[in-house]
Structure 1
Amino acid sequence: MTSQRQDKMRGVLRELAATFFTREAGPRSLITITDATISPDFKRATIYITTFPTSEEANALEFAKRKRTELREYIGTHAKLRALPVLEIKIDEGERNRQKIDELLNQG
């Protein structure tokens, strides 16, 4: 169970990451921030992304990982935090699975 402080931090991370990637990502793909999690000690955070088109997923993930340091600095300047968490960026597999299920349901 997450604390109220963790929930607030998750929202801040999601919002700032979305703003950052909207500004930094090129026109080849759309990077969407679907979720963020943070450890109970606030030292590690994971940001989950999806991409459109999905064929650019590997390139978008590589881009996002290259920009981690800049994203961390961006979060540091736009959020009032005691300490910045170490960021990890992953593809949101749950969202990808939901999209596949929707496609299958729409076919049948």
Structure 2
Amino acid sequence: MKKVTHEIEDLDFAGQTERQVKIGLQIRALAQDFFQKESSGVSLITVTKADISRDLERSNIYITVLPESKEAQALSFAKRMRSDLRTVLKNKLRIRKIPNVEIKLDEGEKARQIMDTLLREKK
């Protein structure tokens, strides 16, 4: 299998095959569209990353939520909507086995935002 060695600014593909990267990017785009359409507008849910296991059976979708005070509520909503999201993936992806989806908060993105804020304050 061909490993992806190129770097894209915001996405980390280290150690993933080209197929994993392609499917992960498709899942990310579909999940973003899904949450944009299904959310109530109380909070902004952004899909920052989606990765998929080597056997294509599991996918982790990482989200950030604004405002932060609504994080728990938005994460609960996203987890409740997993089966509907999986149905969308089944209808849109052209793969035999649709991965089981897990929704997680993107703690790395949150840490990056805090560091950016601290760096801006020092200037």
Report the TM range for the smaller structure's normalisation.
Answer: over 0.9
| Corresponding position of 2:97 | 83
Q: How many residues align?
A: 108
Point out where structure 1 has 5 or more consecutive residues left out of the alignment: none
Larger proportion of helix: 1
| Corresponding position of 2:87 | 73
What is the CA–CA distance in structure 2 between the aligned matches of 1:103 and 1:12, rounded to whole Å?
31
Q: TM-score, normalised by structure 1?
A: 0.97
| 1:1-108 → structure 2 map (5 Å cutoff) | 1-108=15-122
Indicate the SS of the match to 2:101.
strand
Across the aligned residues of Structure 1 and Structure 2, the Cα RMSD in angstroms comes to 0.7
Letter of the 2:88 counterpart: Y
What is the CA–CA distance in structure 2 between the aligned matches of 1:2 and 1:104, rounded to whole Å?
32
What is the CA–CA distance in structure 2 between the aligned matches of 1:7 and 1:107, rounded to whole Å?
36
What is the CA–CA distance in structure 2 between the aligned matches of 1:87 and 1:21, rounded to whole Å?
14
Q: TM-score, normalised by structure 2?
A: 0.86
What is the CA–CA distance in structure 2 between the aligned matches of 1:53 and 1:66, rounded to whole Å?
20
Q: Which runs of 4+ in 1 moved over 3 A?
A: none
What is the CA–CA distance in structure 2 between the aligned matches of 1:42 and 1:106, rounded to whole Å?
40
What is the CA–CA distance in structure 2 between the aligned matches of 1:69 and 1:84, rounded to whole Å?
11
What is the CA–CA distance in structure 2 between the aligned matches of 1:27 and 1:13, rounded to whole Å?
22
Q: Percent identity?
A: 46
What is the CA–CA distance in structure 2 between the aligned matches of 1:80 and 1:37, rounded to whole Å?
17
Letter of the 1:16 counterpart: L
